[in-house]
Structure 1
């Protein structure tokens, strides 16, 4: 990725950010002495400090800090005379440990180490260049939506566990419990005794009001309700778990409504970005993965010089470690996990929607790779394809790519063709 020298800056600052204060270490270009200070985490204090530096130095100032986004980053990005250089926290921790094996840590010294790293190795760090407000908004929306999805999974797991204690029949009556239908049903009839007392017409009206109009399914549910036997009649179990279930339903209902709100906002914002059509046409992308892939690549095409750089940054490219006669390969432990998750989840969706992707996945499985390893290998290949499309602005075309594989005499197509032939012979015999 592109880097930038610190020679043209009039001063450099290392910041150790915190919740209530930010320690900093400042060095003027061409001088050896450093200055230490502390900024309270209040808007007016940060603004006063920034203006004082600008009045003092006038020119551009380099700032090294341990994060690429957050309140202090947003505050400093308001000023065009600051150039921010994010430093990986693990990098700074290892650098500190190299000089302090005792693991002693102090905020001012961490600020000095961040400054020292930037001064000695400027070519290793990339200046933070914000993308457009729309792209940054979309990135934040999809990340926060994913957190809500995780909340939904957690609430449904806890709700399922609670219902198994006193009202397990509901889990058989409904295929999915992370729906408003299930939440409304349990809110209206939180126990087996309560739903048994309901009239059949009432139950039918409830299902109809929730767009469930399959007569056979409704009849089966009502019949099952009438014949259901209580797991327990112990009020010492039913009362607390009923209240627990209702509390979880309330949280789940709020989470489902929030996810729906985020989906609408994402669906409205994503199509306004220039490269949306490029990712919308991809096999298996769909309404949820299209915005995530759009954000994964972003709009700064100069950010990555090759597909391999993106593969490494996303954590898809494996890491090789060698020491003496030993050598072993493993996946990357330090990477943007949500980004890696995006590529892996989308690659998994393409197995049944792209001919060559399905053939490659089956080839990897035939070699003994696990499902996850095969999907990661497929994601690795997909990034190379998408990077080319992203750089040229050309929409992905499956037939064009298959023709390119055929012209190169790719063994992947030969392997897929032989498998299809064997499958046809097996069906005939």
Structure 2
């Protein structure tokens, strides 16, 4: 069978289908390529029913390619349909379908069969603006999901930590003051052992010293300060009506936090084992500030298909780091992009921040943006925008980034960045 891109341009589809998916059932609108009649159906979300429906399509259209438009690029239905080589999926943004519907129904009336029909119309009338879903290798897709799911667990860890801090401040502030970082095994084990100030005071000095030694707290002065603070601590409250409920809640949160930390460690181990086996990993691992944490995230942001992005501007817009310009009459305003993969945007911005102390020109560019009045986050997004162009070129040509070469290019173009003090020495040696 021909590639999906060829099929899209050759118009060899036997039928076109719009699907409005849901958890328990999917509304379908189908039109054969050689017909004008549209058929509506409801497909239960069960593997056997989906398989029977696809087998019927294959038999009806003699195995010829069938185009399907669906408002998602992942999920149970997409995973189920990707098994069949004659189906070509065209994912669209849900906002696209909603705006299309609103354009012809200002009343905002909505129904699942209507949405399936709208998806079909978008597919048939605007297919030149859609891209077929072309799954990347198993390794890249596995790494992508590992990173995204890990991020979800990290967000859960942050939520638990914030709740812990809030409750400790209400009955046990000493524990909060002692441990600046709550996302550690040390903190979890300390709180599990001494969840109240009263219990902590009952502990023997030798027991506390042994506990800190077991957890690699060998700084004698720090241990002495902690022991002294226990002796001199004044309880915030001694009301059992407050302490007991808060104690039980904190113990529960600590147990959840302990499990969350173990889960993150398991994901980290899986990512660390998989990422270095992928072809482009070294390209991103060598970037300033990337390291083993952000290199995998940058790798999946670009992917392995070199025709995935037609230009640097495309990835800048898709990632949400390119500003949006709106013009109407004499009015003109610029704002940041609302619709984008949030995790991908976070990846570029977080990495850009780490390059500031590690790249001469990045440091200078960030300070230049700040001097122009840009806020910290706005300056980081501007730096990420600039980095994306550089990374796109490196990724497209499979060429590792070289700071000295880039500084030489800046010097050749007469960039104003080279006039800043931080770059004077680097520019002279470049």
TM band (smaller chain): over 0.9
Aligned length: 421
Q: Which of 410, 417, 420 is the aligned partner of 1:415? A: 420
Question: Partner residue of 2:11?
Answer: 7
Question: Partner residue of 2:115?
Answer: 110
Show the 5 A alignment for 1:223-234: 223-234=228-239
The answer to whether structure 1 residue 326 and structure 2 residue 331 are counterparts is yes
Higher relative contact order (CA 8 A, sep 6+): 1
Question: Partner residue of 2:50?
Answer: 46
Q: Which moved more, 1:108-117 or 1:225-234?
A: 225-234
| 8 Å Cα contact 1:27/1:34 also seen in 2 | yes
Structure 2 residue runs without a partner (length 5+): 426-430
Name the CA distance, whole Å, in 2 between partners of 1:175 and 1:165.
17
Which contiguous aligned blocks of 4+ residues in structure 1 show a shift greater than 2 angstroms? 1-6, 415-420
Name the CA distance, whole Å, in 2 between partners of 1:26 and 1:237.
63
Show the 5 A alignment for 1:207-356: 207-356=212-361
Normalising by structure 1, report the TM-score.
0.96
Output one character per residue of 1:141-172: Cα deviation in whole Å (capped at 9) or x when no partner: 00111111111111010000000111001112
Normalising by structure 2, report the TM-score.
0.96
Residue 302 of structure 1 aligns to a residue in which SS?
A: coil
Name the CA distance, whole Å, in 2 between partners of 1:226 and 1:196.
7
The answer to whether structure 1 residue 24 and structure 2 residue 28 are counterparts is yes
| 8 Å Cα contact 1:320/1:329 also seen in 2 | yes
Name the CA distance, whole Å, in 2 between partners of 1:313 and 1:409.
30
Please report how far the alpha carbon of residue 4 of structure 1 lies from its aligned counterpart in structure 2 after TM superposition: 3.4
Please report how far the alpha carbon of residue 19 of structure 1 lies from its aligned counterpart in structure 2 after TM superposition: 0.5
| 8 Å Cα contact 1:3/1:122 also seen in 2 | no
Question: Partner residue of 1:423?
Answer: none
Name the CA distance, whole Å, in 2 between partners of 1:286 and 1:216.
34
Change (3 A) 1:258 1:129: same
Name the CA distance, whole Å, in 2 between partners of 1:364 and 1:27.
54
Q: Which of 387, 398, 404 is the aligned partner of 1:399? A: 404
| 8 Å Cα contact 1:3/1:125 also seen in 2 | no
Change (3 A) 1:167 1:419: farther
Residue 27 of structure 1 aligns to a residue in which SS?
A: strand
| 8 Å Cα contact 1:344/1:375 also seen in 2 | yes
Q: Which of 127, 134, 150 is the aligned partner of 2:132? A: 127
| 8 Å Cα contact 2:71/2:92 also seen in 1 | yes
| 8 Å Cα contact 2:364/2:417 also seen in 1 | yes
